[in-house]
Structure 1
Amino acid sequence: MGDIDKDPKLAALEERLSQARKKAEPEPERVSANSSAMSAAFKLGIELVAGVGIGVLIGLTLDKWLATPPVFLFVFLFLGFAAGLRNVIREAKRMQDQSDD
């Protein structure tokens, strides 16, 4: 058994096997970079949709409560869109500043 542990051919084979295993492993940075970019895109989309949705809910509630035509619906729809767009722009700038660092 002592001869097998000291065999240079076996040691060279072990070294080549370990190098081949390292090459076969996926790079964790690429996987995390793709998933973080995807999550950032979803976050930006949700920010915009949430602003519009909240604006519509507020507008519908006010129209129903005050028994008015859909005046408040349109007002708060545009306000919600503006707020959502503002949040998207602010978040995009924050992500850009982080990537520059």
Structure 2
Amino acid sequence: MTDDRDDGLEERRRRLSAELANRKAEDVAEAKRDAQSEESRKGMALGFKLSSEFISAVAVGAILGYMLDRFAGTSPWGLIVLLLLGFCAGVLNVLRSVGMVAPPPSMQKRNDKDGK
């Protein structure tokens, strides 16, 4: 009788340890999926940030150029010049955000003061 009971307990222990191993494997797989989705979200957020900075710089240049043409009567030169300046500013902002170009000197001085 005690042999049946010991065998039943042993079988139960093996089954529970197998279930525990399966759950641990599932937890590891879920953690890996969460890490991948977090990286994906960070990349998407950076992409939206960069695209919005670029588009806003071009749009501001175009709007200012159009307004200059309307009030000064220099059509279409104000729009063309300020649209190109907006494009250049957008590219520069994107490069600064990515870290390929140093921030302007005024920002560097502020960062140095804050850091000290």
| Fold conserved between structures, TM > 0.5 | yes
Which of 61, 64, 70 is residue 70 of structure 2 equivalent to? Answer: 64
Q: Is 1:8 matched up with 2:13?
A: yes
- Code of the residue aligned with 1:67 in structure 2: it is G
Residue 12 of structure 1 deviates from its aligned partner by: 1.7
The percentage of counterpart residues that share the same residue type is 30
Secondary structure of 2:74's aligned partner: coil
Of 56-65 and 29-38, deviating more is 29-38
Residue 51 of structure 1 deviates from its aligned partner by: 0.8
Q: Which runs of 5+ in 2 are unaligned?
A: 1-5, 101-116
Secondary structure of 1:69's aligned partner: coil
Q: Which runs of 4+ in 1 moved over 4 A?
A: 3-7
Which of 79, 90, 95 is residue 89 of structure 1 equivalent to? Answer: 95
Equivalent position of 2:26 in the other structure: 21
Q: Which runs of 5+ in 1 are unaligned?
A: 95-101
Residue 5 of structure 1 deviates from its aligned partner by: 8.5
Residue 43 of structure 1 deviates from its aligned partner by: 1.5
TM-score under structure 2 length normalisation: 0.65
Larger Rg: 2
Cα RMSD after superposing both structures: 2.4
TM-score under structure 1 length normalisation: 0.74
